[in-house]
Amino acid sequence: MAIGERIIAVRSVDSTNKMAAELLAAQGSAHGTVILAHEQTAGRGRRGRRWASAPGLDIALSVVLKPAALAAADQFGLAKLTALAVADTVREALGTAGDGVAVKWPNDVLVGRRKVAGILIECELAGDRVRHAIVGIGLNVNSVDLPEELLATSLRTAAGGRMHDRDAVVHRLLAAMERRYAQCLHVPAGLDADYTAALWARGRWAPMWLDGAAVDRRPVDVDPHGRLLVEDPEGRVAAYGLDRLRFAAR
Ligand code: BT5
């Protein structure tokens, strides 16, 4: 089944990722099933953080993927394909205003310095394979009053106030997911190259936290495990996971 061929639309739910997990456990949803919420009351970010979205204005959805052929070791491909599908959709929606669309490692989507979308991927492994993944996407579409401290934006804000048709954006996003999913399975080198090209702050010195210390590092690429490859001021390149490295405030 193609991604989005079956959409379960709900009026209000605590979290689409949580609902997708419950449905998977109860009835083993098919690959490509989408849970789309009009309103999400307890949206989840990573590590217990919260995700805010305005009822009816923004997108909160989860996609069930069953990438039978994907090795567990390659699961960062899911983060890449999702971030790129979201970035494709944002660029398409903004037209020429979409110039500054980038993927902030590991998978925030930014317009300029501002976060327009967040992604939460929950994977279940079976041996050395990915049994299924729940890919949660929060995309700010028509919100205009996101708190300034979030350094967020929406398609509407980035487009100078123009409202966007939320359903049309959902369908473009799911079509982009399907394209990027096929690329991930069949042309992974192309996906890797596109992710590298979209990487925010690539080739620029950026303030970061490394093992709790403030440092300047220059992002170069990601490695096959999804760790960020960064260059230090002495020209040495090393790879770090999120357990050790993160960007300081944008
Ligand atoms: C994320 O986490 O960015 C992943 C967000 C995933 C949300 C989707 S919505 C559908 C699905 N169902 C769920 O329950 N979740 C997924 P993280 O990188 O941890 O970023 C969270 C941080 O982003 C928060 O601590 C805030 O600082 C910021 N934030 C919250 N809401 C935001 C928004 N609408 N726009 C921009 N930033 C936001």
Tens-level pLDDT at each residue, the chain (250 residues): 999 999 999 999 999 999 999 999 998 999 999 999 999 999 999 999 999 999 999 999 999 999 988 999 999 999 999 999 999 999 999 997 778 999 999 989 999 999 999 999 999 999 999 999 999 999 999 999 999 999 999 999 999 999 999 999 999 999 999 999 999 999 999 999 999 999 999 999 999 999 999 999 999 999 999 999 999 999 999 999 999 999 998 7
Backbone angles phi, psi at 42, to 5 degrees: -140, 60
Give the residue whose CA is nearest to atom 29 of ligand 1.
51
If one counts every other C-beta atom within 10 angstroms of the C-beta of residue 39, the result is 16
Q: Is the pTM of this model over 0.85?
A: yes
Q: Is 25 exposed, middle or buried (0-12, 13-18, 19+ CB in 10 A)?
A: exposed
* Whether residue 68 has its Cβ less than 6 Å from ligand 1: no
Residue to probe by mutation, ligand 1, list 23, 39, 51, most atoms within 8 Å of CB:
51
* Whether residue 52 has its Cβ less than 6 Å from ligand 1: yes
User: Which pLDDT score is estimated for 247?
Assistant: 96
Q: Give counts: helices (H), strands (E), the chain.
A: 5, 14
Q: Are 244 and 212 in contact (CB under 8 A)?
A: no
Residue whose tokens read 């309103």: 39
The Å distance, Cα 208 to ligand 1 centre, comes to 20
The Å distance, Cα 69 to ligand 1 centre, comes to 29
User: Which pLDDT score is estimated for 68?
Assistant: 87
Give the residue whose CA is nearest to atom 11 of ligand 1.
136
The Å distance, Cα 83 to ligand 1 centre, comes to 13
Q: Phi-psi region for residue 182, left (φ > 0), alpha (ψ -120 to 50) or beta?
A: alpha
